Amino acid sequence: MNALMSTFGITDFWTFLLGTIVIVLLPGPNSLYVLSVAAQRGVAAGYRGACGVFLGDAILMLLSAGGVASLLKTSPELFYVVKYIGAAYLAWIGLQMLRGAWRNWRERGVLTPVEAPPQREDLLQPFRKALLVSLLNPKAILFFVSFFIQFVDPAYAHPALSFAILGVACELVSATYLTVVIFLGARLADHFRRRRALSAGLGGGVGTLFIGFGAKLATATLN
């Protein structure tokens, strides 16, 4: 495989793949958000959130390949603007989850009425939120370019092709992992629907983690 990949300007593909798997498996706001959505709203909503993650990651890879990461490195002001917007958005999602968890906790003894069919806006919400969570993270742009660049042969005439192949491999790993996350969450969905206290615990825990992610991003530096 390494010999085949070298014809496309990619060096040490297996090391790249192993590193990608390890990085994808690390818990982060993307996977936690998809897990929360799948657990509370089911498989279809989980996949809508996952599609937002896939599109966000693809856009970040394109921006990295296009040199936006270099712009962030050379323009600390731009980096900090994007960083604080991203941190505020993660914290806002966390607060929304905490509010929902508190509402579920207060209503834990109340029978749930038959719900109306979700509106189009509700169906699109997981996709939009996951997309913004992916995009509003300048550290992710810097990561993509610093990681990918190690496996692209600088002498290769078509580096865009090399980036594209590595990007597809990264998305396939992410899709496999998020599929496992979605079905794991879906197995818990019935329990959460029947037990408001359990749903409140999940929402509160994930909301707290999102606020933590926002605080971590707010204190991140270019180095």
pTM for this prediction: 0.69
The per-residue pLDDT for 217 is: 65
Position 76, amino acid: P
CA–CA distance, 129 with 97 (Å, rounded to integer): 12
CB-based contact 55:131 (threshold 8 Å): yes
For residue 33, pLDDT beyond 70: yes
Q: Whole-number mean pLDDT of the chain?
A: 76
Highest mean pLDDT of the ranges 59-73, 88-102, 127-141: 127-141
What contacts 123, CB < 8 A, 6 or more positions away?
A: 45, 48
**Closest alpha carbon to 174 in 213, 205, 123, 134:** 134
Closest CA to 29 of 183, 187, 214: 214
Question: What is the H or E stretch that residue 117 is in?
Answer: none
Highest mean pLDDT: which range of 90-94, 99-103, 176-180: 176-180
Spatial contact of 162 and 11, defined as CB atoms under 8 Å apart: no
Block residue for tokens 């580096």: 159
Angle, nearest 10°, between helix axes 76-106 and 120-135? Answer: 140
* Each residue's pLDDT tens digit, 44-68: 999 999 999 999 989 888 877 776 6
